[in-house]
Amino acid sequence: MISVVILGAGNVATHLFKAFSASNHTEVIQWYNRSYSAISSFANAVDTTDNISKLKMADIYIMAVSDDSIAQLSKTLPFENRLVAHTSGSVSIHDLDKKNQRAVFYPLQTFSKEAKVNFSEVPICIEVTEKKNLQFMKELAEALGCTPYRITTEQRQTLHLSAVFVNNFTNQLYRIAHEISDAKSINFDILKPLILETAKKVQHMSPYTAQTGPAKRNDKKTIKRHLKQLENEEHKMIYELLTASIKKTHGQR
């Protein structure tokens, strides 16, 4: 049984707590957060504390905190030579204080507290500074049913950048589409099968091959009509930028 201490109380920390607690191979023995109120509702399920000086001995300490907090929090840990991992996609492993053994346990997924996550479908990007910890980090990921990937800091930061495009930017486009359809009293649910089909396509074909639409086929009349329909200047700019990008990718002018 792998013993885990979680530090932090955000979306990632909450989902990791639930996943580790549900696993037969891991046990969360303590949950720390500097603001006790954020974890007080879990007091009956796990030992909770806001006192960093009272952290228990564990196999691994997982810091699921904001990127800006990682370096400082790792410095304040009241022990040395224990295994400490952060969960960030963009922070270097070397931001962790070198008084401890350092690792990264980065679940490449979007997390909202309200949405359930099937961890068996979540890739875990792992990195270590000491080779002896590599197998342990793989086993920790596999304990959640995840597939582990050994990734360097540079590769992880590139993955995080790519994830912003496929997740955050795409979600913003959903929000714009919702606003556009809602303005004409159109139920956004009508678009959801299209959203799902678009996501399904890239599971078995490249995004380049999957591309369709007026920009790819250089349908100037439709593009002009769409731009005329858009009342929001920001939406118009986004439409024009993405249209130009698609046309350039597919050799249109």
| CATH number, domain containing residue 208 | 1.10.1040.20
Question: Is there a single domain that holds both residue 33 and residue 62?
Answer: yes
Cβ contacts of 95-99, under 8 Å, gap ≥ 24: 95/70, 95/71, 96/63, 96/70, 96/71, 97/71
| CATH number, domain containing residue 58 | 3.40.50.720
Concatenate the DSSP letters of all residues of 181-233 into one string.
HHHTT--GGGGHHHHHHHHHHTTTS-HHHH--STTTTT-HHHHHHHHHH---H
Question: Is there a single domain that holds both residue 27 and residue 63?
Answer: yes
pLDDT score of 119: 85
| Overall size of the chain counted in residues | 253
DSSP state of 36: G
Task: Provide the residue range defining the domain that includes 107.
Answer: 2-151
Question: Is there a single domain that holds both residue 123 and residue 202?
Answer: no
d(CA 137, CA 145): 13
Question: Is there a single domain that holds both residue 140 and residue 51?
Answer: yes
pLDDT score of 253: 66
Q: Among 136, 151, 166, give the residue marking a domain's end.
A: 151
> Average pLDDT by consecutive 10-residue portion of the chain (253 residues)?
94 91 94 89 90 94 94 95 94 95 93 80 94 95 93 93 94 96 95 94 92 92 94 95 94 72
Question: Is there a single domain that holds both residue 168 and residue 139?
Answer: no
pLDDT score of 251: 81
Q: Are the beta carbons of 114 and 153 closer than 8 angstroms?
A: no
Q: Which value, to the nearest 10 degrees, does the dihedral of the CA atoms of residues 207, 208, 214, 218 take?
A: 170
| Type of residue at 161 | L
pLDDT score of 144: 92
Buried b (16+ CB within 10 A) or exposed e, 17-36: bbbbeebeebebbbbbbeee
Token representation of residue 204: 């078995």
Question: Is there a single domain that holds both residue 162 and residue 228?
Answer: yes
pLDDT score of 109: 87
Buried b (16+ CB within 10 A) or exposed e, 160-192: beebeeeeeeeeeeeebbeebeeeeeeeeeeee
Question: Is there a single domain that holds both residue 12 and residue 105?
Answer: yes
| Type of residue at 92 | S
Q: Among 151, 169, 197, give the residue marking a domain's end.
A: 151
Extended strands (E) in 76-162 = 83-86, 101-107, 123-128, 147-150
Concatenate the DSSP letters of all residues of 153-178 into one string.
HHHHHHHHHHHIIIIIIHHHHHHHHH
Question: Is there a single domain that holds both residue 51 and residue 140?
Answer: yes
Question: Is there a single domain that holds both residue 40 and residue 163?
Answer: no
Number of domains in the chain: 2
Question: Is there a single domain that holds both residue 235 and residue 215?
Answer: yes
Question: Is there a single domain that holds both residue 136 and residue 171?
Answer: no
Question: Is there a single domain that holds both residue 120 and residue 197?
Answer: no
Q: Among 151, 166, 201, give the residue marking a domain's end.
A: 151
pLDDT score of 42: 85
